Amino acid sequence: SQQGEEDPQALSIQEGENATMNCSYKTSINNLQWYRQNSGRGLVHLILIRSNEREKHSGRLRVTLDTSKKSSSLLITASRAADTASYFCATDHLQGAQKLVFGQGTRLTINP
Amino acid sequence: EAGVAQSPRYKIIEKRQSVAFWCNPISGHATLYWYQQILGQGPKLLIQFQNNGVVDDSQLPKDRFSAERLKGVDSTLKIQPAKLEDSAVYLCASSLTPRISGANVLTFGAGSRLTVL
């Protein structure tokens, strides 16, 4: 299966701390994306990193990509209660139709 | 711009009954996707359309699931007959054609939650 694996499955931290989530995948990719899903809602795109990029920033988000290890990490700095959600990595693989394959997600809880 | 519209938001049926979900993508988005998300899991692609043609339906249980996008705009996903394991959220998403946008970034609807009793 091409599906990514995320680690940890659940993460609980205090407001103001940084949160780091990891994603690993098995086959070569065009790009890797991170999405957020609030409870009972659809997924929202956060950030995309292409296979020739190593790091990308967007506001309080920092994404890294290591294609040699087939892994990515999402760092959320200075977390807020509103960051409580599930976070999914999605990989766009080189083979087959350009479809996104989602991981199982990390459930992040920010405690006030 | 308007988002991806889905209906109904919630549906409860008994096993062996049928159900249909509707999706209206963002205007101008040629690619439309249906994902199934079981509680506690990531979304799993059921079917992908490019305009009104099917690009990928390899994970669609074709003995009970069907989907169409007749005019290349809105789409309907049908389940008949439903099984208990079909209880899930059915997410519709759309995107610009990747060769135009440069990447496959999806915009999701809020989803349709199905409970099969």
* Of residues B37 and B103, more confidently modeled: B37
Mean pLDDT of chain B: 93
User: Shortest Cα distance from B87 to chain A (angstroms)?
Assistant: 14
Chain B: nearest CA to A75, how far in angstroms? 20
Single out the residue of B10, B29, B17, B106 nearest to residue B69, CA to CA: B29
DSSP string, A31-71: EEEEEEE-TTS-EEEEEEEETT-SEEEETTEEEEEETTTTE
Nearest neighbour of B110 by CB, restricted to A31, A41, A97: A41
pLDDT for A97: 60
Judged by CB atoms closer than 8 Å, whether chains meet at B107 and A45 is answered as: yes
Is the pLDDT at B113 greater than 60? The verdict is yes
Smallest CA–CA distance, residue A43 to chain B, in Å, is 6
Binned average pLDDT, 10 residues per bin, chain A of 112 residues = 78 97 92 94 95 96 97 97 96 74 95 92
Contact criterion met (CB < 8 Å) for B56 and A99? yes
Q: Are B115 and B15 in contact (CB under 8 A)?
A: no
Which residues in chain A are closer than 8 Å to B4, comparing Cβ atoms?
42
Q: Across the interface, do B110 and A104 touch by the CB < 8 Å criterion?
A: no
Q: What is the DSSP letter of B67?
A: E
CA A86-A62-A36 angle, to 5 degrees, is 20
Which is higher by pLDDT, B74 or B104?
A: B74
pLDDT for B18-73, tens place per residue? 999 999 999 989 999 999 999 999 999 999 999 889 999 999 999 999 999 988 89
Q: Is the pLDDT of residue B100 over 90?
A: no
Which stretches of chain B sit within 8 Å of chain A by CB? 4, 33, 35, 41-45, 48, 55-56, 91, 93, 98, 103-111
Nearest to B104 among A3, A35, A100 (CB): A100
Q: In this structure, are residues A27 and A95 in contact, taking their beta carbons and an 8 Å threshold? A: yes
> Best interface-test mutation with A: which of B29, B108, B112 has the largest number of A CBs within 10 A?
B108
Between the CA atoms of A101, A107, A108 and A111, what dihedral angle is there, to the nearest 10 degrees?
170
